[in-house]
Amino acid sequence: MVTDRETLAKQALAEGRRLRDELTRRRMLELSAATAAAAWVGGNIAEARAAGEETHGPGWYTDDKLTGKVVMYTFAGQRWGLPPKAMLPTFKERFPNVEVEVVDEPVGEAYGKIQMRAASKSDAFNTQWADHNQLSALVNIGAMVDMDPWLAKDPGWTEDYFKDVPANVTVGYRSPQTPEGHTYMLASDSNAKLQYYRKDLFEKAGIKGPATTFEEAIEIAKELHAPDRDQYGFVTTARRGLFAGLELYQMVRSYGGVWFNDQWEPQFNTEIGHRAFSTLLKLMEYRHPVTINAADDEVNAVLAKGSAVFAPFEWGTSVLNNKDFTEFASVFGAAVVPKGETPESKHEPLMGGFGQYVNAFAKDQDAAFEFIKHMNSGDYTDSRIGLDYVMNTGQPARSSLLRKYADVNPYFIALADSIVVCTPAFPWIPEAFTVAEALGNDVVAVIAGEKDMETALKDIDAAQRQIMAESGYYD
Amino acid sequence: MAELSAAQRAASVATPRPRARLRENQVAWLLITPTIIILVALSVYPLIWSGAMAFRVENLFNPKIGKWVGFRNFDFLLFNDDTFWKTIWLTFVWCAVVVSVQLVLGFLLALLMDTTMRAVGVLRTLLVIPVFISPVAMGLTWRFMFEPVSGVINYLITSVGFDRGAWHTATDTALVAVMIAEIWQWTPFVTLIMLAGMQGISPEVIEAARLDRVRGWTYLQRIVIPLIWPVITVVILLRVVDSMRIFDLIYVITRGGPGTATLLASVNTYSIFQSGRLGVMAAYGFLIVILINIVVFAFLRVLYRQEKASRRRAPARA
C-alpha cells in the first residue's frame, strides 16, 4: 500500500487536512492526540505501526532494556500539551519498557510554577518544558542535567539536530548561553515575534506587501485605521508587566539597541530608547481598545474577529491560520517584524519557544532524556515524529519541519525566516522576569497616559539599575 | 466552726485532687496539640518567615542573592515606589464606593422585597443567583460584555443613541467598570441579610408605627434603621473586609490595568510576586496589613460607639 516515506507523509498530510476541515475545534480537542495522529497516518494505529518501517530514518533504534518512568510537565493547550502526547505511540515502539506520563497544567503563571517546582528539588517529575529565558535561573539552582554526555553518544543525531535548529535558538538552551556552552535543554518548540497582516485589506488599500520599516508600519496602521467601521489599524500585547515591557524592547532591538551594556548598565534612556518609544507611541495612536490590557489571547481574538487588522510584532501562532478559529484564516499573512529606519536598525524579532530539560533531582534520567530526544528528532529518527508533532498543533524549532509543513501552517515560513535572525526576548540572567516586569510597568504607564515618556525612560533605567544592584551586578 | 468545716468538705469534694488535675491537663494538652501544630505550621511559621523576608532581598528567580537589608524594602515602597500610595488610595476608594453603593442598593431592594407580594419568593431566588457564581467566571463574562468593539453593553448603549464607552480598556473608566461587576455580584447578599433583619422587626412595633402614622423617611429613620442597625453593622464589616481583599474579579477583567487604573493592593501584591521580588512583596504585604488594620479598627470603633449610643437611647425613649 505505502511504499516510501515521502508518499506516506503526503498521504497522511492530505488525510490530516481533510479531517481537520471536517472536525470542529472542540471535537479535535476531544480526540486523543496520539490516537488522532496515528489515525491520520494510516487509518488506525495498527496500520500506522505496520507502516513504521517505511518511515524510519538514520536515527532509528530501539531499546527494550531501557526501563523507568518519564513524567513530563508541560502546559495544557494545543501547542505544548498535544505534541508530547502525540509522541507516545512511536516512543513506545522504540522503548516498550519505559512508561511515560505527560502532565499538562494550565499555562497561567508558568514561569513561577516552573521555578518553584525546580527550587523545591522535587523528584516528582524528571523532565519539564521551560523557557530559554529561564535557563540561567534554573542552572543557577542546579536543577538541570548537562545533556552533552548523552548527545556525545549519538553524534549523527546531534549533528542533525544542531544543523536543523538554528544556532540563534540552540544557544539559548546552553549554559553559559554562548555557542561554547553546554546543552541543558533541547528545543522542540520555537517562536518569535511575527508581523501579521491581512492580505485582502492590503490589496484593497493598494499596500504592497508587509511593512519593512516601522515608518511603513505606522503608515499602514494609519491607512487601515477606521474605528467608525470597527476596524483598528494596530494591535499588540501591551498588558501591564512583562508583555508591555517586551513591546518596547522589540522596538529597541529593531532600532539596534540593547537592554544592558557590557557593564550591566540599562540602555533605555538613550537616543535609541527615545526613538523606539516614540515609534511605539505613534503606533499606539491606531491601537485597538483591547491593546492596553492584552496578552496573546486577547490580540488573537480581535485579529480573528476582524476588528484588528495589523499586528506588526505579535507572537507567532497557528490560530490565525486555523479556519475553525477565524474566517480570515486564508488571508492572514505573516512576515518578519519590521526594522527601524536608522542605519543601525535591523530585523531582529524577539525569540520565544520552549525546550525540555532533565531534572537533576529525579530518577530515570536516561529514560527522560530519550523521551526528550525522541520528541526533538524530526524526520531524522522517523518521519512520523515530525508529522505527529506538526499535525498535533506543535510549532517546531527544526527548520526542516517548518518548511516541510508550510502548507499546513503558512506562517511557518515566516517563523523559519524569523528564528534565524531572532534575539533573546529578555536578558539571559536569572533576574530576567524581574527586570522585564519592571520595564513593562513603566511602559504601560506611558501608554495609559499616567507618565510622560521622558520621565518613564529615566524611571526605567533607575528601576533596572536598582534590581541589578540588589543582585550584586555592580559589586 | 461546724459550718466552716462543712464548706471545706464541700470544697475538697468539688476540687479535683492534684493527680486528677494533672491528668486532666494532660488530656487537654493532648487534645489541643494537633490544633497548635497545624496553627504553627500553617499560620505562625509562614507569618514569621514572611516577616523576616520583608527585611531581606529575596528573588524567586535567583535565590542565591538573598541577604539582610534592614528596612530597605520598606523605604523603597514608602518613599521610592510611585505605585505604593496609589494602590492604597485605590483600595480605599474601591472599598468606600463599592460598600456604600451595595448598602444603599441592598437596603432599597430589601425594602421592596419586605412585602407580602406573591412574586417575592421568586424574586428572592433570582436575586441570590449572582452570589453563587464563581468570580472568575463572572469576571470573564463581564469582560466580554464590556468589550468596547463587540461587547453587548456597548451594543445596548449605542442602540439607544449613546456613544460607546471604553469601559475596562480606558484608565478613567476601568475602575468604574470593575466596580459595576462587583456591585452586581454582592448587592444581593447585602439585600438578603438586610431583608432578614427587617423581617425580624416585631409586628407590634410596625403596627404601633402604623397607628401613630409614622411613614416614609421618618419610618425608615426612626424605626427600621435603628432596629436593624446591628445587622447593618455586620454587613458593613463583612463587605469591607471582603472588598479589601478583592483579587479574582480584577485580575480576570483588567489585571490591575490599564496602567495602574485598577491596581488595588491585592493585585499589586501578586504583581510584585510575578516579578519575583519576594522581599519587596513581603514588606508590601505587611504595610498593607498594618494600614488596613488601622482603618478597620477605627471604623469598628465608630460603629461600636454608635451601637452603644443607640442602645443607651433605646431604653430612654421607651
Q: Give the separation between CA B141 and CA B164, rounded to whole angstroms.
A: 19
Q: Residue B170 in contact with residue B258, Cβ under 8 Å? A: yes
DSSP run (H or E) holding A285: none
Q: Which three cell numbers stand for residue A81?
A: 500539551
Q: pLDDT for B278-316, tens place per residue?
A: 999 999 999 998 888 888 788 878 877 877 776 776 555
Q: Give the separation between CA A350 and CA A315, rounded to whole angstroms.
A: 9
Q: pLDDT for B57-105, tens place per residue?
A: 999 888 889 999 999 999 999 998 889 999 999 999 999 999 999 999 9
β-strand partners of B57: B67
Is the pLDDT confidence value at A100 over 60?
yes
Q: Which long-range contacts (CB under 8 A, 24 or more apart) does A47-51 make?
A: A48/A89, A48/A384, A49/A89, A49/A93, A51/A1, A51/A2, A51/A8
**Do the Cβ atoms of A307 and B61 come within 8 Å?**
no
Distances (CA, A) of A20 to A73, A134, B70, B78, B314: 27, 35, 60, 56, 76
Q: What 3 state SS string does A288-315 have?
A: CHHHHHCCHHHHHHHHHHCCECEEEEEE
Burial class of residue B284 (count of CB atoms within 10 Å of its CB; 0-12, 13-18, 19+): buried
Strand A354-358, strand A127-131: pairing: antiparallel
Q: What's the pLDDT band for A2 if we cut at 50, 70, 90?
A: very low
Q: What's the pLDDT band for A39 if we cut at 50, 70, 90?
A: very low
Return the percentage of chain B with pLDDT > 90, whole number. Answer: 55
**Among A49-53, B82-86, B239-243, which stretch is predicted with the lowest mean pLDDT?**
A49-53
Radius of gyration of chain B (CA): 27
Mean pLDDT for the stretch of residues A94-105: 96
Q: Does B123 or A409 have the greater pLDDT score?
A: A409
DSSP run (H or E) holding B8: helix B2-14
Q: Which of A334, A280, A331, A287 is nearest to A307 (CA)?
A: A287
β-strand partners of A315: A193
Which residue in the set A239, A437, A445 is minimally distant from B255, CB to CB?
Answer: A239
Which pLDDT does position A469 carry in this prediction?
A: 94
Q: pLDDT for A182-233, tens place per residue?
A: 999 999 999 999 999 999 999 999 998 899 999 999 999 999 999 999 999 9
Is the pLDDT confidence value at A20 over 60?
no
Residues in chain B within 8 Å Cβ distance of A120: none
β-strand partners of B266: none
Mean pLDDT for the stretch of residues A353-365: 97
DSSP reduced 3-state for A2: coil
Chain A residues whose C-beta sits inside 8 Å of any chain B C-beta = 109, 111-112, 115-116, 119, 134, 137, 140-141, 230, 232, 239-242, 288-293, 302, 305, 307, 430-434, 437-438, 441, 444-445, 447-450, 459, 466-467, 470-472
Q: Which three cell numbers stand for residue A275?
A: 526613538
Q: Which of A388, A255, A369, A242 is nearest to A315 (CA)?
A: A242
Q: Give the separation between CA A376 and CA A188, rounded to whole angstroms.
A: 5
Residues in chain B within 8 Å Cβ distance of A430: 59, 61-62, 64
**Among A36-45, A144-153, A284-293, which stretch is predicted with the lowest mean pLDDT?**
A36-45
Is the pLDDT confidence value at B182 over 80?
yes
Considering only the top CATH level, what class is A192-350+427-470? alpha beta
Q: Give the separation between CA A277 and CA A456, rounded to whole angstroms.
A: 10
Q: What's the pLDDT band for A161 if we cut at 50, 70, 90?
A: very high
β-strand partners of A351: A192, A424
Q: Does B202 or B5 have the greater pLDDT score?
A: B202
Mean pLDDT for the stretch of residues B177-198: 94
Q: Mind telling me how many Å the CA of B134 is from chain A's nearest CA?
A: 18
A235 CB neighbour count, 10 Å cutoff: 28
Question: A21-190+352-424 and A192-350+427-470 share one CATH topology?
Answer: yes
Mean pLDDT for the stretch of residues B13-37: 85
Chain B residues whose C-beta sits inside 8 Å of any chain A C-beta = 57, 59-65, 76, 82-83, 147-150, 166, 168-171, 254-261, 263, 271, 273-277
Q: Does A150 or B16 have the greater pLDDT score?
A: A150
Q: Give the separation between CA B303 and CA B141, rounded to whole angstroms.
A: 36
Distances (CA, A) of B15 to B4, B6, B24, B29: 16, 14, 12, 20
Indicate the domain borders of chain A: 21-190+352-424, 192-350+427-470
Q: pLDDT for B121-177, tens place per residue?
A: 788 888 888 888 998 999 999 999 999 888 999 999 999 999 889 999 999 999 999
Q: Residue A315 in contact with residue A191, Cβ under 8 Å? A: yes
Burial class of residue A22 (count of CB atoms within 10 Å of its CB; 0-12, 13-18, 19+): exposed
Q: Does A286 or A18 have the greater pLDDT score?
A: A286
Q: Which residues contact A245 (CB under 8 A, 6 or more apart)?
A: A436, A437, A438, A439, A440, A441, A443
Chain B's closest residue to A294, CA to CA, is B254
Q: Which three cell numbers stand for residue A312?
A: 506588526
**Do the Cβ atoms of A450 and B276 come within 8 Å?**
no
| DSSP secondary structure letter of residue A319 | G
Q: pLDDT for A435-473, tens place per residue?
A: 999 999 999 999 999 999 999 999 999 999 999 999 999
B260 CB neighbour count, 10 Å cutoff: 25
Radius of gyration of chain A (CA): 22
Which pLDDT does position B302 carry in this prediction?
A: 83
CATH code at A21-190+352-424: 3.40.190.10
A109-A469-A141 Cα angle (round to 5) = 50
- What mean pLDDT is reported for chain A? 90
Mean pLDDT for the stretch of residues A256-280: 97
Q: pLDDT for B96-115, tens place per residue?
A: 999 999 999 999 999 988 87
**Among A100-109, A274-283, B10-19, B265-274, which stretch is predicted with the lowest mean pLDDT?**
B10-19
**Do the Cβ atoms of A437 and B274 come within 8 Å?**
yes
Mean pLDDT for the stretch of residues A303-327: 94
